[in-house]
A and B are shown apart, each in its own frame.
Chain A
Amino acid sequence: MNSTKNLNARERARLAAEQAAARRRDQRILISVVVAFLVVVVAGGITFQAWRTSRSPSAAPSATAAASPVMITNGRPIPLGSADAPVTITLYEDFHCPHCADFEEEFGPTITQAQESGEARVELYPMAFIDEGSITAANAMACAAEAGFGQPYYLALFANHTLQWSDPQLIDLATKVVGSPPSEAFQTCVKRRAHADFVTSINAAADQNHVAQTPTMLINGKDVAIESLTPESLKTMITDAAQK
């Protein structure tokens, strides 16, 4: 009688120990699975973003304004659009600034329209303060303006703002904008950072003009509050400025 009871107690203890061991094993497996899941998702995410920034640019929105080559002058903005347009829209932007990309998406079409109708011209300060890609893109922007396709190149840079802007990407973008491989001069201009001094001078000019953030927009020299802007109110502002 007594020995059966002991046996039962021992049996129960053994079972309990086995169960505890099984539970611990299950838990270890669960933890490993969870950690593996986290690692796979994060590594996959990083790989995905690396791919997105290094792929080739997609086709750019079409810009019909046939631009003529412009001269790049240190410290002076890049002019885009008709020189005798009544309204001057001054833009300070960095090609890698996320808010600039948002700004371009929302207001770019309105501005482009005003440029194409001859109502406004853009004076672009391509600032470069975010990363290496800001510098290579600003330099390539100057090369493109000099080669005569500044306007469509500008739109294409923002349409592909997730890219990191390596030299091949910048040249590929020009190919898509021009419709054929760009001139040797443009390619050399991109690869050699021919306008590196210009990019530095634009940063200095922005500083001097007390521009503290991008995007900054001025219409005929007057600061525009972008936070409260809508495409319609921008259109009205441009029309009003043209009539003055």
Chain B
Amino acid sequence: MIDPQSSVAAVRAYRLLPSALLTIVGWGLPFAEIALGVLLLAGIATRLVAVASAVLLLVFIAAVTSAAARGLSIDCGCFGGGGDVAPGQTAYATEIVRDVGLLLLAVWLVWQPRSRLTLDRFSSERT
């Protein structure tokens, strides 16, 4: 279960947020992501949730890009982990490509939120 120290360490490693916000973002962000994921899977308010996910992914892409541009040696903290790593061990390109892929999927859902297994179908087809 999401380690409260490492999720804060992952956020801290980006050196973007003031220390007052590190803890709250480190603790809150993973749960926000899980909640968005659950809503996307269930297909509840798909378009709205897809917009939120796309915005979040844009923030992630910007953060990883800025870490790369500033020459930091960190793990993006995507799917767990995070923190400082040895200079040769960064994988910014892979991380950005993956985030762009996820972003495209989110944009697809903003454009085409309907699919066969969403709960949204029930709420709107009755009207």
Q: Which chain A residues have a beta carbon within 8 Å of chain B's beta carbons? A: 19, 22-23, 26, 30-31, 34, 37-38, 41-42, 44-46, 49-50, 52-53, 96-99, 101, 130-131, 161-162, 212-213
The 8 listed contacts between A and B (C-beta, < 8 Å) are: A34-B45, A42-B32, A44-B31, A46-B28, A49-B2, A97-B9, A98-B3, A99-B83
Contacts of A96 in B (CB 8 A): 5, 9
Q: Check A41 against B5 for contact (C-beta < 8 Å).
A: no
Q: Check A34 against B9 for contact (C-beta < 8 Å).
A: no
Q: Check B3 against A162 for contact (C-beta < 8 Å).
A: yes
B91-112 to A contact mask, C-beta < 8 Å, 1/0? 0000000000000000000000
Classify the secondary structure of B's interface with A: helix
B63 at the interface (CB under 8 A from A): no
B1-27 to A contact mask, C-beta < 8 Å, 1/0? 011111111001000000000001001
Q: Check B48 against A162 for contact (C-beta < 8 Å).
A: no
Give A99 to B45 CA distance when docked, in angstroms.
38
Q: Check A46 against B31 for contact (C-beta < 8 Å).
A: yes
Give A185 to B84 CA distance when docked, in angstroms.
37
Given A22-B127, A97-B83, are A34 and B44 neighbors across the interface (CB < 8 Å)? yes
Give A96 to B23 CA distance when docked, in angstroms.
13
Q: Check B30 against A45 for contact (C-beta < 8 Å).
A: yes
Nearest Cβ in chain A — how far from B122, in angstroms?
Answer: 11
Within 8 A of A (CB), among B107-127: 123-124, 127
Contact of A23 among B5, B84, B127 (CB under 8 A): B127
Interface size for B (C-beta < 8 A) is: 32
Give A101 to B4 CA distance when docked, in angstroms.
12
B36 at the interface (CB under 8 A from A): yes
Contacts of B12 in A (CB 8 A): 130-131
Q: Check B123 against A98 for contact (C-beta < 8 Å).
A: no
Give A37 to B119 CA distance when docked, in angstroms.
16
B35 at the interface (CB under 8 A from A): yes
Give A50 to B27 CA distance when docked, in angstroms.
8
